Amino acid sequence: MNSYVQKNLKKNDESHITQYLAAVTASLTFLNFGIYQGWPGPALVKILSDEYPISVDQEEASIVATIGTVGHVIGGFTASYLADHIGRKTTIMGIGLPQILWPMLIYWSYYSKYLLYIARIVGGIGEGASIAVVGTYIAETVVPTVRGVLGGFTTVCVGLGVFIINIAGSFLTLKESAIVMSVFPVIFWYFIHVYARESILLLN
């Protein structure tokens, strides 16, 4: 099977251009992953300050920072199941839903601090789904000669996402940074729809 897949990849894309585009596009989910991971750094300072209109104590803030792990479990198992039943590409596109929803919940959390908890769980679902599916997708859509390089691009995206949110979060309000965070999943949706292709394993 592995030999069959490699032959099909080489036959269908000798220059590897579409493989690069598919893998890099899928890796953009990890840009949002990095934004999610880096958000508590600048955000919790603001949540605990007078800038946030609702009183939040240290214990509640620590819950905000850690409750996303619940979403990791949900997202990981759900995405693994969906990837085998509706396809890798469709599942990866679906990851954009929690990645755009959690910043919106942060935006509306000015009306209820409990939306912070929900937002972090929802964002964790997207994060867990990314871990479960994207690596498999890259392994199945690129030939071994470029697989390592393209697989490593996910790490670059995580670091870039952390950097972006720490810069933006330091200078913007929680609402403003939430708007910025919601832009990236929309960009991701466009690129994954246009440039990504389904896994060769599923097509055959």
Owning domain of residue 180? 30-199
The answer to whether 201 and 5 have CB atoms below 8 angstroms apart is yes
Query: Is 184 among the domain residues?
Result: yes
Q: What is the C-alpha separation between 123 and 155, in angstroms, rounded?
A: 18
Query: Is 112 among the domain residues?
Result: yes
Query: Is 104 among the domain residues?
Result: yes
pLDDT exceeds 90 at position 24: no
- Residue 144: CB atoms within 10 A of its CB come to 10
Query: Is 174 among the domain residues?
Result: yes
How buried is 111 (Cβ within 10 angstroms: 0-12 exposed, 13-18 middle, 19+ buried)?
exposed
Please provide the average confidence, as pLDDT, over all residues in the chain: 86
15-27: burial string, b at 16+ Cβ within 10 Å, e else: ebebbbbbbbbbb
Q: Tens of pLDDT along 164-204? A: 999 999 999 999 999 999 998 888 888 877 777 666 554 44
Q: What CATH number has the domain bearing residue 137? A: 1.20.1250.20
Query: Is 4 among the domain residues?
Result: no
Query: Is 17 among the domain residues?
Result: no
Q: What is the pLDDT of residue 40?
A: 95
Quick one: tokens of 134?
A: 């994207």
> pLDDT-based confidence at 11, cuts 50/70/90?
very low
Q: Tens of pLDDT along 25-76? A: 888 889 999 999 999 999 999 999 999 999 999 999 999 999 999 999 999 9
Query: Is 117 among the domain residues?
Result: yes
Q: Tens of pLDDT along 79-111? A: 999 999 998 889 998 999 999 999 999 999 999
Per the structure, how many domains does the chain have? Answer: 1
Query: Is 102 among the domain residues?
Result: yes
